Amino acid sequence: MGTLSGKVALVTGASRGIGAAIATRLAREGADVAITYAASPQRAEEVTRAVREAGGRALALRADAADPAAVQAAVDEVARALGRLDVLVNNAGIAIVESLEKFTLADFDRMVAINVRSAFAAAQAAARHLREGGRIVTIGSVNAERMPFAGGAVYAMTKAAIVGLTKGLARDLGPRGITVNNVQPGPIDTEMNPAQGDFAESLKRLMALPRYGQPADVASMVAYLVGPEAGFVTGASFTVDGGFLS
């Protein structure tokens, strides 16, 4: 019996990278796991297969995080199809890095829509289904607190917004026994941010541990926060960053 046996979790944007690692880790802890994806049904199927191999029920739903109606419909469908909802992990996100002079308002709006508005929309929908002991975790970024390169202002702003949203939602949902927390990864080896190359080397020089982390490192923190041992932890931000902020 895992720590999440009998629970149902939804991980948004989980067809690859950190989201996929979170989904499979929660399945290993005993949860039934649903994921959303935007563009790759084949990869989503790979994740759901891993969830089933871990012993859990699995569900993949196509939902563009930029569309709040689609996000909220996905949350409701998970609760309907799997019978309940106990855990929401807001993982969907994008990073657009561009100079101030070239950054378009369309890119600004898209990044806010996916990184911030979708997290709120999903949490609002999930709140209708979560019971006492429910958990919401959003994947933020250490860039909310430190942006060491040019071109990342808007990305940093969206992740800083998650810090405030987390604190506010913790107050809103605390009386119902629901916790809300924020996990802030540092450099993690994914397709979007590979551990090799000049950019990676420049980040490693900023860290106490001069290496990239793995998606499983983030998944471990999420598994703790959504488990029974974190019942008195809410409104907080946790860094998984190899000392990037130290």
Task: Find the farthest-apart pair of alpha carbons in the chain and give their distance in angstroms, rounded.
Answer: 54
Residue 130 main-chain phi, psi, to 5 deg: -65, 140
Q: Token pair 């084949």 is at which residue?
A: 42
Q: Token pair 């796991």 is at which residue?
A: 33
Q: CA Rg, the chain, in Å?
A: 17
Cα distance between residue 107 and residue 229, in whole Å: 39
Cα distance between residue 63 and residue 114, in whole Å: 11
Contact 186, 142 (CB under 8 A): yes
155 classed as catalytic: yes
In 10 A of CB 79, how many CB atoms?
20
E runs forming strands in 63-178: 87-90, 135-139
Cα distance between residue 17 and residue 189, in whole Å: 8
Active-site residue list: 155
